[in-house]
Structure 1
Amino acid sequence: MTQPAASDDSARGGLGRVPTVVFACRANGGRSVAARLLTEHYARGRVTALSAGTEPGEHIHPEVAQVLGTLGLDTSQEQPTLLTAETIAASDLTITMGCGESCPFVPGATYRDWPLDDPRDQDDATVRRIVGDIDARVRDLVTELVPDLELPPALVGPR
């Protein structure tokens, strides 16, 4: 998987444009939803965040929704969506999280893989640990994409 070069303005919102990131996992019910909502929270409109899955489920995982809710993030409008090659092609960056070989490959697209445990059917402490990992990665990503943005305080404390 490729990563943008340090001078690649297209993946960093250069020239005043808003970069688009798609977060992809298998069911689009946990990791990708958490990453999308955390990105929206921290980027405050300076990054467009999408989420999708290779085998979208019927709903957001309740244990993930509960943990995100305690952080003030609302999942009530989230609906699992199918990841398509068109979604990837229209994005500046695709972050994969456990969808492996089933993620569509789009020549020229920029991909990164975040190896994360699946929070589905996990206990509260495990889901909180996974969301904490996603939170730290998202904060780093937003800082990279929008270096002049001062991030609000972290929603998740040190792990």
Structure 2
Amino acid sequence: MTEHVPQVVFACVRNGGRSVAARVLTEHYAQGRVVALSAGTQPGEHIHPEVADVLESLGLDTSGEHPQHLTREMIAASDLAITLGCGEECPYVPGVTYRDWPVDDPGGQDEATVRRIVADLDARVRALLGELAPDLPLGPSVLA
């Protein structure tokens, strides 16, 4: 019998900043024990370069990140949907747990602001992984 691997979808509007950072951080720490997706209700053409720069400076690869459209199917396949500013635009799927993370939008912000936002997401992701995979050894934060 195989163990269930929880899946979480991080949803925002453009899928260029918050949701991407949360997904990349989750995948980094989860070591395959949690699957993370990110998508947007109105996806942009690329992730915000200032977000990519900060994540890359922390040793996190963003080269494969491309905004994608959030679908009901994506949410339905997930155990948890974390909304980051998409509010009522995010499709509702019965049976899926939703949580809203009130995190500032890093798009167009200076490096110090983006780092503060990434640090906020880092703490939230680490706490979330403590719930979804309680026996997962997290190791130090990428911000340490």
Equivalent residue, structure 2, for 1:36: 23
Distance 2:30 2:93 in 1: 26
Give, in angstroms, the shift of residue 115 of structure 1: 0.3
Residue 6 of structure 2 aligns with an amino acid whose one-letter code is P
1:77 aligns to what? 64
Structure 1 gaps of 5+ residues are 1-14
Give yes or no for the alignment of 1:18 onto 2:5. yes
Equivalent in the alignment of 1:95 = 82
Q: Pairwise CA RMSD of aligned residues?
A: 0.9
Q: Which runs of 4+ in 1 moved over 4 A?
A: none
In structure 2, the partner of 1:135 is 122
Give the deviation of 1:107 after TM superposition.
1.5
How far residue 109 of structure 1 moved from its aligned partner, in angstroms, is 1.4
For the residues of structure 2 that align with 1:52 and 1:152, how far apart are their CA atoms? 27
The equivalent of 2:111 in structure 1 is 124
Query: Structure 2 stretches of 5 or more lacking a match?
Result: none
Percent identity over paired residues: 72
Return the letter of the residue paired with 1:126.
Answer: T
TM-superposed CA distance for 1:24, in Å, is 0.4
Secondary structure of the 1:129 match is helix
- Among candidates 42, 51, 54, match of residue 41 of structure 2: 54
SS at match of 2:11: strand
User: Separation in 2 of the partners of 1:146 and 1:106?
Assistant: 23
> 1:87-129, CA deviations, whole angstroms, 9 ceiling, x for partnerless residues?
0001000000000110001122110000000000001110000
TM-score, length-scaled by structure 2: 0.97
In the alignment, the residues of structure 1 paired with residue 69 and residue 123 of structure 2 have an alpha-carbon distance, to the nearest angstrom, of: 26
Q: Quick one: distance in 1 between partners of 2:115 and 2:108?
A: 13
Q: After TM superposition, give the deviation of residue 156 of structure 1 in Å.
A: 1.7
How big is the shift at 1:74? 1.0
TM-score of the two chains, using structure 1 as the length reference:
0.88
- State the AA in 1 paired with 2:7: T
